[in-house]
């Protein structure tokens, strides 16, 4: 499916809770299409508004093929494919972590975003089974990013403006596992 870019109104609207609007067969096809689109992009999550659908549905999956140094610094562990229906999160503790983050709907750019280091996710899966799970590290970041999409929030709304970098600059200057060097060089504070 085509991914809509920042500026499209659907990305700024709060989504409608999913209560069976698609029916089982169409929901299954929609989830499959979200998965294929996410993987093809490639990305680690995709929310329904990113394909122009204002329903509270998102998918996440992260194979986490990163160097060990990055895995440890960011808490990036592989995540299996999951469907999040009507998800919500709340912080677990007060610790925050700041890393460069990008978005399929804001192609070509990344910025440092401080997010909760751990969150509790509640909602349902695609079969209506309750979800109640704690996520830490990078998986917590993915959950927050995708759930934010469902509330009409883009990562840029939470980003440190001085850190905004095109992908080429991010790769050239800020490829370190943490954002400390970028914060010093660009003049912003980390949590």
Q: Is residue 1 part of a domain?
A: no
What per-residue confidence (pLDDT) applies to 51? 98
pTM of the model: 0.95
What is the pLDDT at residue 147? 98
Name residues of the chain where pLDDT drops below 50: none
Residue 3 within a domain: no
Residue count (the chain): 191
Question: CB of 74 within 8 A of CB of 99?
Answer: yes
What CATH number is given to the structural domain containing 58? 3.90.45.10
| Annotated binding-site ranges | 103, 145, 149
Within-domain flag for 191? no
Domain that holds residue 181: 9-185
How far is C-alpha 122 from the chain's CA centre? 16
- The Cα-based distances of 38 to 2, 16, 57, 63, 109 in angstroms read 10, 21, 13, 12, 17
Residue 2, domain member (yes or no): no
Predicted local distance difference test score (pLDDT) of residue 64:
87
Q: So what's the pLDDT on residue 60?
A: 98
**Binding-site residue ranges for Fe cation:** 103, 145, 149
> Three-class SS of residue 178?
coil
Please report the pLDDT score of residue 190 as a whole number: 95
- 36 inside domain: yes
Q: Which residues of 172-189 are buried (b: 16+ CB within 10 A; e: fewer)?
A: eebeebbbeebbeebeee
109 lies in some domain: yes
Residue 11's pLDDT is what? 98
Catalytic residues: 146
Q: How many domains does the chain have?
A: 1
């Amino acid at each position: 499916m085509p991914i809509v870019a920042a500026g499209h109104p659907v990305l700024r609207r709060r989504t409608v809770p999913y209560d069976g609007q698609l029916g089982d067969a169409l929901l299954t096809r929609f989830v499959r299409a979200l998965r294929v689109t996410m993987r093809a992009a490639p990305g680690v999550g995709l929310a329904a508004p990113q394909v122009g659908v204002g329903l509270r549905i998102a998918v996440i999956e992260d194979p986490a093929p990163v160097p060990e140094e990055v895995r440890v610094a960011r808490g990036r562990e592989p995540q299996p494919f999951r469907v999040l229906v009507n998800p919500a999160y709340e912080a677990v503790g007060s610790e925050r972590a700041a890393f460069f983050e990008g978005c399929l709907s804001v192609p070509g750019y990344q910025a440092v975003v401080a997010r909760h280091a751990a969150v509790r996710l509640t909602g349902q899966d695609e079969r209506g089974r309750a979800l109640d799970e704690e996520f830490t590290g990078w998986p917590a970041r993915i959950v927050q990013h995708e759930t934010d999409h469902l509330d009409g929030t883009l990562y840029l709304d939470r980003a440190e403006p001085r850190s905004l970098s095109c992908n080429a600059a991010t790769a050239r200057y800020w490829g370190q596992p943490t954002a400390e060097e970028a914060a010093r060089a660009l003049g912003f504070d980390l949590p």
